[in-house]
């Protein structure tokens, strides 16, 4: 693990010194060098993820696709979303807008004597091992992701934003990052707060996010593969997650939607909370009201249209609520 960290540090230094630092000096942003060095690690992680997508998951999709790719424009749109998120553009925006706020808040809490929990120190000799602590952090964050994701489907105003993600009718490895930017902002705020509260080291935080995103890319892939009876209960795969995106949801006699397969990494949370469904059949994806018989609702065909319509749906929720509700 120490050797891996050493090579990652060397790659970060090289990328920063050869590309990022000269560019910032040229643009007159020398005062942002410290934040830019941290952002370089996110950029490096994003580059590695794109390489894995193109060189590993992409060939798997071509080997055993669930469906033929018919809408190349939709795929190109999802690639744009992926570039914005994985190559650090969204993260850089957070560095200069939201992150200073969190630094100020938690700095003040420390001044007041309110320390955060350091999970690394809970069991000396065990949890301070890098691999053990990484596994613990992944489990904790996946539980947080499960709860947040379930809220996105069951809290009306959150769904209006999350619907951008589910509007894809051509699901591929690029589909994971198709999200409303406000939805991503709220999600990242929750993740940052949790990471600060449990004392996740910065390098491990980057690793946690990178691992989670790669698994999500795999689970969204246009790939007809199952991990088997046992494997699909250990790690979220394409078959398990495609059922979550299915355009035909099971409903109760009163018409209430029954969501399933909310977990991001480990299906154990769906199993424990009884939202797991392992009998999916690689059906069509999307939202029911996109179909002609469902009303043919428009969720936008381009980046700006999807973002704007998301805001309009969100505003519509609060307009419908009675005053004082």
262 burial via Cβ count (<10 Å: 0-12, 13-18, 19+): buried
Phi/psi of residue 285, each to 5°?
-115, 160
Give residue 36's pLDDT band: very low, low, confident or very high (50, 70, 90).
confident
SS3 93: helix
pLDDT in tens, 95-135: 555 555 656 666 666 666 566 666 776 666 666 777 888 88
Residue pair 158/152 in contact by the 8 Å Cβ criterion: yes
When pLDDT is averaged across residues 281-295 and rounded to a whole number, the result is 85
pLDDT in tens, 129-184: 778 888 889 999 999 999 999 999 999 999 999 999 999 999 999 999 999 999 99
pTM: 0.86
Q: Which of 237, 217, 216, 235 lies closest to 226 in space, CA to CA? A: 237
Give residue 255's pLDDT band: very low, low, confident or very high (50, 70, 90).
very low
Largest CA distance in the chain: 64
Q: What is the mean pLDDT of the chain?
A: 83
Sequential DSSP letters for 237-296: -HHHHHHHTBSS--B-TT--B------SS-THHHHHTT----------BS-GGGSGGGT-
Residues with Cβ within 8 Å of 314's Cβ and at least 6 positions away in sequence, in order, are 157, 160, 161, 182
Q: Provide the H-helix boundaries in the chain.
A: 2-15, 21-27, 33-52, 58-63, 72-86, 89-97, 99-111, 130-154, 156-166, 181-198, 202-219, 228-231, 238-244, 268-272, 303-320
Give residue 215's pLDDT band: very low, low, confident or very high (50, 70, 90).
very high
């Amino acid at each position: 693990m120490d050797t891996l960290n050493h090579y990652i540090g060397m790659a970060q230094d090289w990328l920063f010194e050869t590309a990022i630092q000269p560019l910032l000096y040229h643009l007159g942003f020398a005062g942002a060098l410290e934040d830019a060095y941290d952002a370089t690690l996110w950029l490096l992680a994003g580059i590695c993820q794109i390489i894995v997508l193109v060189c590993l998951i992409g060939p798997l999709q071509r080997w055993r696709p669930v469906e033929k790719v018919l809408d190349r424009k939709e795929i190109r749109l999802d690639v744009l979303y992926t570039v914005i998120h994985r190559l650090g553009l969204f993260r850089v925006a957070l560095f200069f807008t939201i992150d200073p706020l969190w630094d100020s808040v938690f700095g003040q809490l420390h001044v007041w004597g309110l320390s955060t929990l350091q999970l690394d120190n809970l069991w000396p000799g065990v949890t301070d091992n890098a691999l053990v602590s990484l596994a613990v952090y992944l489990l904790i964050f996946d539980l947080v992701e499960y709860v947040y994701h379930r809220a996105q489907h069951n809290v009306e105003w959150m769904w209006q934003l999350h619907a951008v993600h589910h509007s894809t009718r051509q699901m591929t490895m690029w589909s994971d990052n198709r999200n409303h930017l406000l939805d991503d902002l709220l999600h990242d705020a929750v993740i940052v707060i949790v990471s600060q509260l449990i004392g996740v080291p910065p390098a491990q935080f980057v690793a946690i996010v990178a691992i989670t995103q790669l698994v999500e890319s795999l689970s969204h892939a246009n790939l007809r593969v199952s991990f088997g009876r046992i494997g699909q209960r250990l790690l979220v795969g394409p078959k398990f997650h495609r059922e979550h995106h299915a355009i035909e949801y099971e409903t109760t006699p009163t018409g209430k939607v029954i969501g399933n397969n909310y977990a991001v990494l480990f299906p154990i949370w769906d199993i424990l909370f009884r939202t797991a469904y392992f009998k999916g059949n690689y059906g069509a994806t999307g939202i029911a009201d996109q179909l002609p018989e469902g009303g043919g609702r428009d969720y936008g065909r381009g980046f700006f249209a999807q973002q704007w319509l998301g805001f309009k749906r969100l505003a519509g929720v609060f307009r419908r609520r009675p005053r004082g509700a």
